[in-house]
Amino acid sequence: MNANWTLEYDSEVIAHLYLLREDGVAIRQAVRSLAKGIPAEARKIQDDPETWEWLEARHWITFVIDRGKQWIYVSGVESATIE
């Protein structure tokens, strides 16, 4: 099935992505790409609810999926770099 997944974002994720402004272009693109499904590089960290993490654009992206509804909830985005 090649249908897009529905994305929903935690309010803290929205705030974080907004505050990055121009510096957040790559991470916003990465998060939006989840609409195409689970990236091959992501790893499952929990079975119930099915939770994944993905290192992309120098950030850890955490998301929960519902396969039946083709729904992805982006629950966290954290910088993977030391500041």
- ω before 39 within 30° of 0 (cis)? no
User: Is residue 53 included in any domain, yes or no?
Assistant: yes
Q: What is the pTM of this model?
A: 0.91
Q: What is the pLDDT of residues 59-83, one digit of tens each?
A: 999 999 999 999 999 999 999 987 6
Is 30 contained in some domain? Answer: no
In a domain, 15, yes or no: yes
Domain holding 62, by residue range, is: 1-25+44-83
For the segment 20-45, what is each residue's pLDDT rounded down to a tens digit? 999 999 999 999 999 999 999 999 99
Q: Does residue 34 belong to any structural domain of this protein?
A: no
DSSP state of 6: E
Q: Provide the β-strand partners of residue 6.
A: 71
Q: Is residue 38 part of a domain?
A: no
| CATH number of the domain encompassing residue 83 | 3.30.2310.20
